[in-house]
Amino acid sequence: MSSKLSQFALPAGMPMSAGNTSKTRILIAEDDPVSRRMLQAFLMKWGFEAVAAADGLEALRILEESDAPPLAILDWMMPGIEGPEVCRRIRQHTGRTYTYVLLLTARTQKDDLLQGLESGADDYLTKPFDAQELRARVNVGLRILDLQHSLIETREELRFRATHDALTGIANRGVILEELNREHSRRSREGGSFGIIMVDLDHFKQVNDTCGHQGGDVVLKEASRRMTECVRAYDTVGRYGGEEFLIVVPASDEIGTLGLAERIRSEMEAQPVVLDTGEIRITASLGVAICSDEHPQDLQVLLKLADEALYRAKGRGRNRVELALQGVPALSLDTLTAPLKSVS
């Protein structure tokens, strides 16, 4: 039997299974087959799923996969590449899910242990060791991973709250204006054109007066959903304020942006919004403005043009789309009916 077997000692009375591990996957990288099977047996008894690797190269390949085990037990001395080098390489992959690494080593010199930790290992265990100590260190690693997961979830939740409208879930005013600024900068560098659409729900005050603010909230959320379903993946819908929305439409000219605006207008009125108190029909007025090589609008001018087109749509009866062009009065969708029909 291999001499490595003496490195493991199972305490008397060890239970066949312990802990609430929910089949967490753990990588074992150990070139000695007897030692590897012993580690596998321990982990399986404790309720883990053991993934085995016979050398450092195989361990590195497994840890670089998208569904890599969150915790790895690496032997220091392995063929191919050693445990510390495996640590160094996986730590170079920033942005990936973190892997907690427990390094096994027969080395006991302080300099050796420091070298292992500096390579990126989170903990180490010197040989020989007993199974109870291994289990305790594995559980420490899992607690740290759980804490990290909770911190990441909290960070992402805070980031979402900071960038999205709390009611509708779409981009908030700050983010949609940032997106507008980025698209304006991109067009200034690369040329081409892009459009913006200002959207305002018609008679929204009456919705709040007749259905209450809770009903108004339902309408705003449903209107946001309908707009989001109409746009392309790289368009951005944001809440500009109150019942007013702004949509940034990259790589789009007058006809394309007008076509999108008309689809949104049509979708708004297509079906009533269902409230607890009944159904209510909604419509929207939309103003479109274009920034292009021919008309490289300043951002504030572009927003002003879209806003003027929106109010012209309101003044002409609502539930309509208006296009504003630089240097000429705002044009209605009716003016461009023929070309619009060719792309709608």
Q: pLDDT for 56-112, tens place per residue?
A: 899 999 999 888 999 999 988 888 888 899 999 988 877 778 899 998 887 766 676
Domains, the chain? 3-162 (3.40.50.2300), 173-341 (3.30.70.270)
pLDDT at 212 over 70: yes
pLDDT at 1 over 60: no
pLDDT at 16 over 70: no
Please report, rounded to a whole number, the percentage of residues in the chain having pLDDT higher than 90.
Answer: 58
pLDDT of residue 269: 95
Rounded to the nearest integer, the mean pLDDT of the chain is 85
Do strands 25-29 and 8-9 pair parallel, antiparallel, or not at all (unpaired)? Answer: unpaired
pLDDT of residue 328: 47
Quick one: average pLDDT of 42-62? 92
- Take residue 64 and report the two structure tokens written for it: 């670089």
Position 121 confidence tier, pLDDT thresholds 50, 70, 90: confident
> What are the angstrom distances between the C-alpha of 201 and each of 108, 154, 272, 282, 314?
72, 34, 14, 7, 10
Quick one: average pLDDT of 121-129? 81
